[in-house]
Amino acid sequence: MSIKSIPDIFKAFQQLKVLVIGDVMIDAYIWGTVSRISPEAPVPVVNVKNREKRMGGAANVALNLQSLGAEPILCAVLGDDEGADIFEGLLEKRNITGKGIIRSKDRITTLKERVLSGSQHLLRVDSESLEPLIQAEENLLLAKILELINEVDVIVFEDYDKGTITPQIIQQTVEKAKELGKPVVVDPKKNNFFDYKGVDLFKPNLKELKEGMHVDFSNSDQDMLKEQTRLLREMLSAKFVMTTLSEKGVYIQSEKEDFLIPAYKRSISDVSGAGDTVISIAALCIALKLRSDFVASLSNLGGGIVCEELGVVPIDAKKLEVEAIKHNLQF
């Protein structure tokens, strides 16, 4: 379709299918009130008022993509356990296909349990497998990816360092995507940082950029930011590197141009999941071949919007569209 306005962009999002490869998890929330300290130990006693389980990790990228109108297909490995049953139930409830999901008796399904009182986060308990996939699991996942890649418009790697994504999976997926002319975007973590060679967009945050490049510099040092981003982009042979800068916005760089997009002032409640929103928006924009400054601007705007919510929540597409028009984002 011909794109002549921001509403046209959001309509075009609804035509896209996205393959999301990565570490999925269950985000569990226990909300309650605290009125006393335990007599057993100096810790607050939480009187539970509500419990909720949500899809997290790479599955939150799928939720964001769905909220934006696109159709996500998740490729991931779960344990063969109660957590997997819960996760697949959540997928079904949200009408997201589970055809790319594999179960393994050698892993457990990642569960992050958070205890909150009002807006105060009191405790988090994690249950997870961190070992890389064994060969049999890797082969099964790769077969799923290579089967499903034909029907999508863009591929997202959502890496949480939980072992689902391996160098072999990255290499073969990127090779196949190039062969089919389909863009690949990456939300990286430490372990596979330099394995994402030849991708279209690589999105570290500033901390990940510094750690990956083994340098430290002031968050306000724009010259170092630009130089380290250039070095990383060249090392990866990536078309774009987009570094998120928290309250300072987003910096995107290609071989020919670069843009530093400042953040909009907001009342921040919780930064959890903002990176998932950013990569989801960026992936759809890259699939539509939109300008890099627009990719960064819309992603930046969406990341800020979800930070106003408590807990990990997907972007509200209508709110994002309204704000994009209000701020007169140029595409």
Give the residue numbers marked as catalytic. Answer: 276
Give the pair of three-digit tokens for residue 198: 């030849």
Of 168, 188, 185, 165, the closest CA to residue 177 belongs to 185
Tell me the three state secondary structure of residue 264. Answer: coil
**Separation between Cα atoms, residue 150 and residue 145, nearest integer Å:** 9
Strand partners, 185: 156, 201
The per-residue b/e assignment along 233-244, b for 16 or more CB within 10 angstroms, e otherwise, is beebebbbbbbb
DSSP string of 39-67, one letter each residue = SSSSSEEEEEEEEEEEEEEHHHHHHHHHH
Beta strand residue intervals within 105-170, DSSP E: 110-117, 120-127, 154-158
Beta strand residue intervals within 38-144, DSSP E: 44-57, 71-79, 101-104, 110-117, 120-127
Of 99, 258, 86, 73, the closest CA to residue 182 belongs to 73
Sheet with 24-37, edge to edge strand ranges: 44-57, 24-37, 110-117, 120-127
Give the pair of three-digit tokens for residue 56: 């997290």
Torsion angle of C-alpha atoms 225, 227, 233, 234, degrees rounded to 10: -170
Give the pair of three-digit tokens for residue 98: 């589970």
Dihedral sign computed on CA atoms, order 37, 43, 44, 49: negative
User: Scanning the structure block, which residue is given the tokens 């810790």?
Assistant: 43
Phi and psi of 197, rounded to 5°?
-75, 135
